[in-house]
Chain A
Amino acid sequence: MQLDLTEADLAFRRSAREWLAANTPGEPAPHDGIAAREFALDWLRRRHAAGWAGIGWPEAYGGRELPPERLVIWYEEYARARAPSLLDPTFVSLNHAGPTLIACGTPEQKAFHLPRILSGAVLWCQGFSEPESGSDLASLRTSAAVDGDELVINGQKIWSSYADIAEYQELLVRSEPGSQRHRGLSWVICDMRSPGITVRPIRNMAGETHFAEVFYDNVRVPLSNVVGALHDGWNVAMTTLGFERKTAAMGLQLALSVKIEELIALARPRPGSALAERLGDLRAQAAGLRALTWRTQFRAPATAFDGSLVRLVFAELSQQIHRAAMDILGPDMLAHGPWSHAYLEAYSETIAGGTAEIQRNIIGERILGLPRGGAR
């Protein structure tokens, strides 16, 4: 165990801090629609032009190939600067699609898509969940029939964030007729402008319209858009979710630490009061989450299911922080404002990307080695 900062680290921190101070947008990010798209892409283009986009990506794909230690510093400074939430319309392209293509894509797929993703030319959305396949993702039914050098896709996806404003979708489909469960799936790049696609946006409980249902009616996708091997989509999808639960999560976790400090400043609790104890507990949990993040970032070899545990701690801490904020605000919580909005949004934390219950199953079965239950 060790903890050392070199002069070069401090210089890197200074340069990140200075750039963020000069370039972080002052206005709040719009929550949905074209305005959210333009804001997020504009912010990404600005980072890209200055060399701050994809800093952990390989140099061959436009990144800087910085080690995790530098990413920690970048994300700490990003949180400190109150830069826009990383969970914005670019999240899927930068943290799902990009890393998945780097890991599993063909040279042609990488050459075409990675520069467009990193430079903020396009947005991606996710197409995994279906109305009948939520936690039980492997039961998905959206079909892709091979027809010559194309796939013909029919079915329906749901909870696809920013599907209404994205150019591409990472789409998980059943490509082998009659296949069961995890077998016979494929991970394909779907152009959202293809004929036969209908997007119906869904308003969420926080009042935003950033997710959607997507319907596919004989949508034709070239076979060359399959990422990884045909019918091996489950493994590719697990790679995708692994990225979601790693690097990207770090920035979100650090942003939570900043939120707690803001909450303490807002509440100014009397020492010894129940509120002071509650905020102290949250602060200690945030410190623990930060330590946990550091440990898992640098664990070698990485353990595959660390991510589930860290993700769950993050999600539940986020909800606790926002609940505390509502109690502190009193009647003001009923009015529209950043805390009320964030409070409502936080309900998605223990659902999206794997419910808290599923994460606990993973912890129980994959980390602790407990037996699987009968009903799945």
Chain B
Amino acid sequence: MTIDLNLSEDQRQILDAARNLLEARFPIDRLRNPGADPMEDIAAFGALGLALPEEAGGSGFGVTDEVLLHVEFGRHLVTPAALAGAIAARAARELGLASLMQRIIAGDARVALALRNGDDLTLLAPGGAALAVSWGAGSASLLDLSGAGLSDEQSIDDSLRLARSPADALPFLGSVHSPNLALLAELLVAAQLLGMAEATRDMAVGYAGVRQQFGQPIGAFQAVKHHCANMAIATEIASAQLSMAALVLGNEQPDAAFQVASAGHLAQRAALGNARLNIQIHGGFGFSAECDAHLFLKRAHAFRLAGTRADLLAHTAPLTHLTRS
């Protein structure tokens, strides 16, 4: 048996390449002068077709690799259009829309992320988007934005624009019933949330180590140290579960739905909890717009809405083999 939730050498190499790109082109302080993130860089990296087979124009990597990439996207608060593009490319492929899929992977057709809100849709990152993608309950849908004439507005997050529309006002390009695709979307949302949790943990620990009060770094005080420890705990458990869910989904094992739902639940908790503690640990600075802490809080809220709130009791128990039948 091999059970290994640690990174392979190949995975480390992909991660290093992704980190280099993101450090150079997507530093967090770019968000102080908001503008749409350049999709060409994301596309050129192969991010939008990373786990699609090479004969379909993808890069032929696995689900676990794609998850790691989206963790890094979360750390850098990359536009939700990257996640939307990765899911939309798969939906287009399953719908037989090959040329659309190619345009998405190449970064030529930008995709907005559609959140359902009853009969209405809230679109994240609609600027320049040709289409939108939404998912839920075992299916994914593509919506045509080309003739919609949407006007976008500022969100509570200066670095994230949104548009709102009645759902029936946007023409359907197609809807595909695909439980695995919906689960993959949930998994990538969880991955981005985990990235935010990691980034805020690191920010808080870094600040607690240098900010001095009462003649010593505030991280020496247990009240602050224990906040940081709690951030580390929430991040580690979410991270391990995300890897488990990615492996199980990649192997198409029967407990995939539960493992993914658990990963989503733990990642939401880590991202929001860490974002809150990070603000608290930064004190007055943390409450100011000059500190990046609020960006992570707001983005965590947005991505949390992108993940469905799964009923964790509805799925097949992951440890069915542990319970007496």
Contacts and interface: CB of A to CB of B under 8 A. Distances in A.
Nearest to B205: A368
A267 to B, nearest CB: 10
B220 A257 contact: no
B236 A292 contact: yes
B3 A372 contact: no
A287 B241 contact: yes
Residue of B221, B243, B244 ringed by the most chain A CB atoms within 10 A: B244
Nearest to B309: A277
B266 interface: yes
A289 B237 CA distance: 6
Given A261-B319, A279-B313, A370-B228, A284 B220 contact: no
B267 to A, nearest CB: 10
Contacts of A235: none
B225 A361 contact: yes
B119 interface: no
A48 interface: no
Interface string B7-39: 110010000000000000000000000000000
A283 B312 contact: yes
A338 to B, nearest CB: 16
Interface string A334-376: 0000000000000000000000010111011101111111100
A257 B208 CA distance: 35
Residue of A69, A276, A285 ringed by the most chain B CB atoms within 10 A: A285
A363 B232 contact: yes
A295 B5 CA distance: 5
Interface in B206-254: 208-209, 216-217, 219-222, 225-226, 228-230, 232-233, 236-238, 240-241, 243-244, 246-248, 251
Interface stretch (A73-81, A137-145, A220-228): A73-81
Contact of B233 (A5, A6, A279, A363): A363
B27 to A, nearest CB: 23
A3 B4 contact: yes
Interface residues of B, number: 54
Given A3-B4, A80-B323, A279-B313, A369 B240 contact: no
Contact of B6 (A300, A361, A369): A300
B161 interface: no
Contact of B313 (A70, A72, A269, A299): A269
Contact of A9 (B1, B217, B232, B248): B1
A271 B314 contact: yes
A16 B243 CA distance: 27
Residue of B217, B219, B225 ringed by the most chain A CB atoms within 10 A: B225
Nearest to B248: A3
B237 A3 contact: no
Contacts of B241: 284, 287-288, 291-292
Given A261-B317, A280-B311, A287-B258, A1 B219 contact: no
Interface of B is mostly: helix
Interface residues of A, number: 62
A82 to B, nearest CB: 8
Contacts of B228: 363-364, 368, 370
Contacts of B4: 1-3, 298
B243 A284 contact: no
Contact of A280 (B219, B312, B322): B312
Contacts of A374: 216, 220
B71 to A, nearest CB: 13
Contacts of A368: 205, 228-229, 232
Contacts of A80: 321-324
Contacts of A287: 241, 244, 258-259, 262, 318
A327 interface: no
Residue of A70, A72, A261, A287 ringed by the most chain B CB atoms within 10 A: A287
Contacts of B322: 76, 79-80, 254, 257-258, 261
Given A361-B225, A368-B229, A374-B220, A3 B2 contact: yes
A371 B220 contact: yes
B219 A276 contact: no
Given A69-B2, A280-B312, A285 B237 contact: yes
B134 interface: no
B113 interface: no
A209 to B, nearest CB: 32
B11 A1 contact: yes
B261 interface: yes
Contacts of A292: 236-237, 240-241
A5 B1 contact: yes
18 contacts: A1-B64, A3-B247, A76-B322, A261-B319, A283-B262, A287-B259, A287-B318, A290-B318, A298-B4, A309-B232, A312-B233, A360-B222, A360-B229, A363-B233, A364-B225, A368-B229, A370-B209, A370-B217
Interface of B: 1-8, 11, 64, 205, 208-209, 216-217, 219-222, 225-226, 228-230, 232-233, 236-238, 240-241, 243-244, 246-248, 251, 258-259, 261-262, 265-266, 311-314, 317-319, 321-324
Given A3-B248, A368-B228, 15 more contacts: A3-B2, A3-B247, A76-B319, A80-B322, A254-B322, A261-B319, A279-B312, A284-B266, A288-B237, A290-B319, A295-B5, A295-B243, A363-B232, A363-B233, A370-B225
